[in-house]
Amino acid sequence: MELLRRALLWASTNPTMAHSLPRRTFVRRAVRRFMPGEKLGDALREAGTLDGRGISTIVTMLGENLETAEQTHAIVDEYVGAMEVAEQRGLDLEISIKPTHLGLDQDPALVLENAARLAARAEGHGTLWIDMEGSAYVEPTLDLYRQLKRRHANVGLCLQSYLRRTPADLEELLDLAPRIRLVKGAYAEPAEIAFPDKSDVDAKFRELADTLLQHFASGGDGFVGFGTHDPALIDWLAARTDELGTARERIEFEMLYGIGVRDQDRLVAAGRPLRVLISYGSAWFPWYMRRLAERPANIWFVVRSVVR
Ligand SMILES: Cc1cc2nc3c(=O)[nH]c(=O)nc-3n(C[C@H](O)[C@H](O)[C@H](O)COP(=O)(O)OP(=O)(O)OC[C@H]3O[C@@H](n4cnc5c(N)ncnc54)[C@H](O)[C@@H]3O)c2cc1C
């Protein structure tokens, strides 16, 4: 299983596969389980459906490592358009960005300018979330977050519990009243950088969650989104927030579109705040490989779509 996981994560960074596989109909069919479509309109339509089930949303356009400033400006324009439509339709919808999609590789000033424009537009409506990519990007992404957070209270950052450095990073952010999305981490990382054992990654998630919840309990400011589909962890988090009397506006559960649907309904029925992240766009190959790697049994969906 570990070999298969590694192979899928390797495939996620392979340009030849990224070029050829998405053209195959069976792959396109299988990917529909995790994204409603390639267009912003598909994501917004599904956000409306989820809203009807009492679920808020985050929308993100897939894509990484873009080439020009103009390309990044077009993405910002599209996100601004998404916020406008969401407001017209009365949807509680937030945006999540990948720094390399908005210019991190080209120029830190470019991604800062792009993200600041989105954060300013989102002010009064919700959080602008910043995804965390592979470990080479952690340092510049933290820099970006700190700079943005000084100017915009409504920016949130994803932190990954598999990274050995994350507890120290979180401690340093606490004074900023951080808005944190906690996840386990989805990239292939060496053991010096990330815990190789899942049990350690799970234990660290709890520790990091507890750091934030204790911070709130002692009067600290901020917010945490628990980005996980792990039922045992979700139950632990729900119990821990109840135990510490965490205010409802300080936390939410976050899941990916199409994953853990039964648990999504369970959380809504229990009155827990839930937000589902919907991805869209044509550059879905690396992202899809990471979703398969998280649960190699998902390959059966691909196999089944070949048979169909
Ligand atoms: C809202 C959100 C935002 C995220 N943003 C980032 C980010 O910015 N950077 C980053 O590195 N990672 C991100 N991730 C991905 C994250 O790091 C994990 O890879 C992913 O959530 C799987 O871990 P898990 O906590 O769900 O638990 P796991 O322990 O991996 O899985 C627990 C259970 O969840 C279900 N499950 C998990 N993944 C899948 C799947 N792909 N298909 C079907 N079932 C599945 C299975 O039932 C599995 O047994 C994000 C996740 C979420 C929910």
Reported pTM: 0.92
Selecting among 179, 181, 250, 275, the annotated active-site residue is: 181
Active site residue 117: no
**Which domains can be identified in the chain, with CATH numbers?**
36-283 (3.20.20.220)
pLDDT of residue 15: 80
* Atom number of ligand 1 nearest to Cα 187: 11
Cα 184 to ligand 1 centroid, rounded to whole Å: 7
* Atom number of ligand 1 nearest to Cα 254: 1
pLDDT of residue 305: 62
pLDDT of residue 64: 66
pLDDT of residue 179: 98
Secondary structure, 3-state, the chain: CHHHHHHHHHHCCCHHHHHHHHHCHHHHHHHCCCCCCCCHHHHHHHHHHHHHCCCEEEEEECCCCCCCHHHHHHHHHHHHHHHHHHHHHCCCEEEEECHHHCCCCCCHHHHHHHHHHHHHHHCCCCCEEECCCCHHHHHHHHHHHHHHHHHCCCEEEEEECCECCHHHHHHHHHHHCCEEEEECCCCCCCCCCECCCHHHHHHHHHHHHHHHHHHHHCCCCCEEEEECCCHHHHHHHHHHHHHHCCCHHHEEEEEECCCCHHHHHHHHHCCCCEEEEEEECCCCHHHHHHHHHHCHHHHHHHHHHHHC
Active site residue 248: no
Mean pLDDT of successive 10-residue stretches along the chain, which has 308 residues: 78 76 71 88 97 97 80 95 96 96 93 97 94 97 97 97 98 98 95 96 98 97 98 97 95 96 95 96 80 75 63
